[in-house]
Structure 1
């Protein structure tokens, strides 16, 4: 039997059509935003206030990283771009560093040297996928000189974790001992961008020759005439106090100078950086406001003491009157035995230090 259809059932339903179109537009909008977030890369010089933008790329393998290919670095200097930000790396999930653990035996010096050379060449910055990196004249980059005291290093890291603004800095560890234990401790850091560098001319790699201890090295306190009689190494060249080289102390000095050279002159990520570099050691402990205080001191220096070259975060005074002096800054001449705790300075001073290389080394 034929069925009669009323005109009401056959009429056009605009509400249902509009609802369907809205859902289609919404889905397209979501996919478009996901695409933009995954591939965003500013190409407008006004989009960010910066002079250097590190373009993030990822290769087809898992070791995607901003330093994987140095050709990806792009300078954006120009008269219209005289910005305050000197290094900018945006947080990006594809910029994650996957740590490759080789578990190298500490007696295998050949493998350790190869691993040190590889890591120094790679210049990996960890935690970029979480924090990115933005450095400028007001920033503070922290460089920690590490030997082999793991327990002290853990305490330092615990204090650094509590520092206000630590996530905005770059934390660099400079090692003169390659140790899986120390590497594991550094790899636990999740509160800021982190880099490791390794002193390549260490006593660990040269245990029975310079810069380590050679069997024929002159004893520290032997007199020069006696040293000449026994014909020990370097007998003609005691220091100005009449002492001969002690490998462990000389390494500390050589490591100190090398890390500055490597940080200021060799690291790609630091090539345009003009802000402060704070020098710490593994047995230090920092206050939560150390970055804030250094930035305040630096601002005061630029305003009221343009001839000041060095800032120090601590001193060796046995007693401290914090309640009286906590809001004060001491102005004076730098004395190495008093003002070498938590030194902070810029590239300008490093250029002058380099001129004294022959005296230092």
Structure 2
């Protein structure tokens, strides 16, 4: 807004106000007196521009965006810790119970996990000690920090709840606009969406009012990767909304609202394509790039956002890759048309067959 208030412009304007009968050349007394003041004024305009930008949600950043969002009751979601399933065995491969609070270090990593809850004999919920997504990248063998008698093997086998990094500005800003545009009140659809958006570990969400008769609400959630939510995440959010699905108002849902939390099912997508591989790349590289790009497209553009996997868009995704020069043929599940998803289905790349045109 103040781009025209540069040091040079300010100094020129100041010198223009000095009578021409006075020496105004660089190095003169009046020039040297005005130059520092012009520099300070220019810096003030820079500061004013920053203040102005941070006064609006569209351009505010960091703590200033936090302050703007707090005006309507929205706070930035903190980083959360990964929870994985840990499996422990003793002699002859038998299940071994460990103490709650036992700490382990992942092999080839500096990340530690601590046992927080028993699932079954020899199986525990293991929470990463560091908040954020770093715990999602760790798998496999664990080493006990303190000696555990009889322990033969310790392994992380499955992510139960994904850890998330602290919410970034774009996500927080989107929630701000969502709340401003969609007034959530008294358990309407917008409020259930807002509860899901604010809950750690949840990605996209769908809400189905009166899905099983009067006073029933179904909330279908995905995890933060917009994939099928784990049983642990479903149960945790169920407890938050309406424990025991009784509508007694013991969670955040209003009295009388019987809430059921579910997740999606997969619609398997099989892609077969013949392509011309771009110069300098191999078919293997093209296959890997395609798999990654299609996965990102499914998660970011389709899952609980659209009900159609577009044949045309799949082709566009492929041709936009550096590794692929052109497409000769393409089929989705054996056909060349769009694939329609049910309301609680998300696409899953079941198979990708890429061959090079001869």
Greater helix fraction, Structure 1 or Structure 2:
1
Higher normalized strand content (fraction of residues)? 2
Higher RCO structure, 1 or 2 (CA under 8 Å, sep 6+): 1
Say yes or no: TM over 0.5: no
The TM-score with structure 1 as length reference comes to: 0.26
Give the TM-score, by structure 2 length: 0.26
